[in-house]
């Protein structure tokens, strides 16, 4: 549906986007993750045809954005980082204008009403955008992107500036959109991306440093999984018992609690589930498990690792 090939962008002599390639299939929700200034917005602006690439191509549903911009652009709904709102218009007038500008062929009134209902701005329809709060403006921007039911929806940090309740609503909306549309959405909030997206691309300094299914990504980076354990009993016995489990790579005691129990971190191979083995081992030596949590390396850890430049998942693939 969306095919990005060797996309590169120079701003003067600064390389903002460096040879990015990826493909997004119909119905996929792709999270575009990266620290500020990593090139997320530049990439999105190139995909939508707002900026031209220095080299490389973007193809939307078979239409090349530079060769056939009119067709390609008609397939995209885009919410830029700053919603492109004419603040002197009312919400309804603005959406009508965007409807005409995009040459949408659907029944005008019904479609605009539907989009407003979807983004929950029906009550604001006759208010002037100037007087709306940031959250509502963001939704008007989103409504604008949805006009005409474009097959590809691109959202640049859609949840910035929203309150938690709105964020949850928008995430829900994005997930629903993902059922019918191809969605690319950028964020620097990790939990958000992992919650909403099927697939994540991490970009840092203009380069893709990771591209994987959401659940595979952290495993891929840490090279193993972790289990945190709180147990009561002799430290030596517990460590010894756990070490005997075949899949375990390492056990470390990370601290102890006031009630005498100890905290342990167990690292084990990705393929196996060792929770039963740990339970059995503890029962055997008479130790008591107070808490056990199977935790992947947190996304935050992963993100820092990826963007610090020490790790390149693609090298492993090659």
Partner 1 sequence: MGAILKRELSSYFNSAIAYVVLAAYFFFSGIFFYNYCVVYNSASLSYVYGNMLLIILFIIPIITMKSFADEKYQKTDQALFTAPVSLTKVVLGKFLGAFVLYAICSAIFLLYAVVISFFATPEWSVILCTFIGLLLFGAALIAINIFISSLTESTIVAAIVSMAVNLVIYMMTNFTSMISIDWIKNIIEKIDFATYYNSFKYGLLSAPDIVFFLSVAGLFVFFTVRVLEKRRWS
Interface with partner 1 by CB under 8 A: which residues?
11-12, 45, 48-52, 69-71, 73-74, 76, 78, 80, 82, 84-89, 93, 97-98, 100-103, 144
| Shortest CB 45 distance to partner 1, Å | 8
Chain length of the chain: 318
Residue 33: φ, ψ to 5°: -120, 140
What's the min distance (Å) between Cβ of 13 and partner 1? 12
Alpha-carbon distance of 143 to 203, in angstroms, equals: 27
Instruction: Output 43 or 48, the one with its CB closest to partner 1.
Output: 48
Rounded least distance, CB 147 to partner 1, Å: 10
Helix axes 108-118, 91-101, angle to 10 degrees: 120
Alpha-carbon span 55 to 168, nearest angstrom: 38
Residues whose CB is less than 8 angstroms from the CB of residue 122 and which lie 6 or more positions away in sequence, other chains included: 113, 116
Give the nearer residue to partner 1 in terms of CB position, either 79 or 306. Answer: 79
**Which DSSP state fits 48?**
T
Query: Of 93 and 275, which CB lies nearer to partner 1 in the complex structure?
Result: 93
Q: Which two tokens stand for residue 21?
A: 């390639």
Cβ closest to partner 1, residue 85 vs residue 132? 85
Residue 315 contacts residue 286 (beta carbons within 8 Å): no
Question: Least CB distance from residue 165 to partner 1, whole Å?
Answer: 26
**CA-based nearest residue to 77, from 139, 177, 178, 152:** 152
- CA Rg value for the chain: 24
3-state secondary structure of 50: coil
The minimum distance between CB 162 and partner 1, in angstroms, equals: 18
Q: Toward partner 1, which CB reaches closer, 41 or 194?
A: 41
Give the whole-angstrom CA distance, residue 236 versus residue 132: 62
- Please give the C-alpha separations between residue 235 and each of 23, 46, 242, 267, in angstroms, as whole numbers: 50, 57, 11, 17
Closest separation in Å from C-beta 51 to partner 1: 5
If the CB atoms of residues 100 and 123 are measured against partner 1, the closer one turns out to be: 100
Indicate the residue among 67 and 88 with the shorter CB distance to partner 1.
Answer: 88
Q: Which residue has the tokens 């492993």?
A: 316
The residue among 86 and 279 lying less far from partner 1, judged by its C-beta, is: 86
Give the shortest CB-69-to-partner 1 separation in angstroms.
8
Tokens representing 175 are 């997930």
- Closest separation between CB of residue 93 and partner 1, Å? 7
């Amino acid at each position: 549906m969306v095919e990005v090939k060797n996309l590169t962008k120079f701003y003067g002599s600064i390389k903002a986007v460096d040879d990015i390639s990826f493909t997004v299939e119909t119905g996929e929700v792709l999270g575009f993750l990266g620290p500020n200034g990593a090139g997320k917005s530049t990439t999105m602006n190139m995909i939508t045809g707002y900026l031209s690439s220095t080299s490389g191509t973007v193809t939307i549903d078979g239409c090349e954005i530079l060769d056939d911009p009119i067709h390609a652009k008609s397939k995209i709904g885009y919410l830029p980082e700053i919603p492109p709102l004419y603040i002197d218009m009312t919400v309804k007038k603005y959406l009508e204008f965007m409807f005409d500008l995009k040459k949408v062929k659907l029944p005008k009134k019904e479609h605009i009403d539907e989009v407003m209902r979807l983004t929950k701005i029906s009550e604001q329809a006759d208010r002037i955008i100037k007087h709306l709060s940031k959250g509502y403006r963001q939704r008007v921007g989103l409504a604008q992107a949805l006009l005409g039911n474009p097959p590809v929806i691109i959202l640049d940090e859609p949840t910035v500036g929203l309150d938690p309740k709105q964020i949850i609503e928008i995430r829900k909306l994005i997930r629903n959109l993902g059922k019918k549309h191809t969605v690319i959405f950028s964020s620097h909030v990790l939990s958000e991306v992992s919650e909403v997206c099927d697939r994540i691309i991490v970009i840092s300094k203009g380069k893709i440093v990771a591209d994987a299914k959401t659940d595979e990504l952290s495993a891929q980076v840490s090279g193993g999984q972790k289990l945190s354990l709180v147990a009561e009993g002799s430290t030596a016995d517990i460590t010894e018992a756990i070490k005997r489990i075949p899949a375990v790579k390492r056990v470390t005691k990370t601290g102890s609690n006031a009630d005498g129990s100890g905290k342990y971190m167990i690292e084990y191979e990705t393929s196996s589930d060792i929770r039963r083995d740990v339970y059995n081992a503890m029962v055997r030596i008479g130790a008591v498990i107070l808490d056990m949590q199977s935790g992947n390396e947190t996304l935050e850890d992963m993100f820092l690792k990826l963007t610090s430049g020490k790790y390149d998942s693609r090298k492993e693939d090659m």
